[in-house]
Structures are given as C-alpha cells and as structure tokens.
C-alpha cells in the first residue's frame, strides 16, 4: 500500500514570507501526486497535480510543487504568503498501474498566516 507523510501538522508563517509544506510518499514506482486545499467547512479543492510530466508543477493561487524521485518528495511552496492562504493542505497519492483508482492522503498541515 502507498503512504503519504506530511511533516508538521501546523505551520505558521508571516504574511509575505515563504510557504513550504512538506510531503513524502512511499512507492516503488513514481505515482501521481496531488496537493489539495481545504477551507473551513468546505470540501477539498485541487491546487496542483503531478502525473509524470514536468517535475516542477505550477498550480492555482501562486503555489507550486517539485517532484523529486530521489527524495520521494513533493513539497509545496509559495514565495509570498497571503492571509487568504490560511487553510488546511493535504498531499495525496494515487496510481500507478492497477492501483490508480485509489487516493491515499496525508494527515494534513494547517497553515496559519500572521499579519
């Protein structure tokens, strides 16, 4: 089974500072990788995804993530945090081959943005 580890259940940054949310996966074959954002009392919204094309993936709201096979990582970054970025972020993995119909999620990281 695949697993996803998100380091840090809570991350706090100042407005304008770099955002870095960490995600590592365990899989013998490069999977599909996703970052989702969840605002309070809402569903999950896709930020970006990696599906074996470019290793640097750009998403919505200025977020990007880099797939590093050697490190089995898919960390999420944003150069300058905005107050509206405060939310919970989930890393997820699916694929490949016969198992691509299941999504496995990390435990989430709550991002707090200080004024």
Partner 1 sequence: NAGVTQTPKFRILKIGQSMTLQCTQDMNHNYMYWYRQDPGMGLKLIYYSVGAGITDKGEVPNGYNVSRSTTEDFPLRLELAAPSQTSVYFCASSHPEQGLTEAFFGQGTRLTVV
Q: Which residues bind partner 1 (CB under 8 A)?
A: 4, 6, 9, 32, 34, 36, 41-46, 49, 51, 90, 92, 94-95, 100-108
Cβ proximity to partner 1, 4 vs 65, nearer residue: 4
Cβ proximity to partner 1, 74 vs 95, nearer residue: 95
- Shortest spacing between CB 11 and partner 1, in angstroms: 14
Cβ proximity to partner 1, 5 vs 77, nearer residue: 5
Three-state SS annotation for the chain: CCEEECCCCEEEEECCCCEEECCEEECCCCCEEEEEEECCCCCEEEEEEECCCCCEEECHHHCEEEEEHHHCEEEEEECCCCHHHCEEEEEEEECCHHHCCCEEECCCEEEEEEC
- Shortest spacing between CB 1 and partner 1, in angstroms: 8
């Amino acid at each position: 089974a695949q697993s996803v580890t998100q380091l840090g259940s809570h991350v706090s940054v100042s407005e304008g500072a770099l955002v870095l949310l960490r995600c590592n996966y365990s899989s013998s074959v490069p999977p599909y990788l996703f970052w989702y954002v969840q605002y309070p009392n809402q569903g999950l919204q896709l930020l970006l995804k990696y599906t074996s094309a470019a290793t640097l993936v750009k998403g919505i709201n200025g977020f990007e993530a880099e797939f590093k096979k050697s490190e089995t990582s898919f960390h999420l970054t944003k150069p300058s945090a905005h107050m509206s970025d405060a939310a919970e972020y989930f890393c997820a993995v699916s694929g490949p081959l016969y198992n691509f119909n299941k999504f496995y999620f990390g435990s989430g990281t709550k991002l707090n943005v200080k004024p």
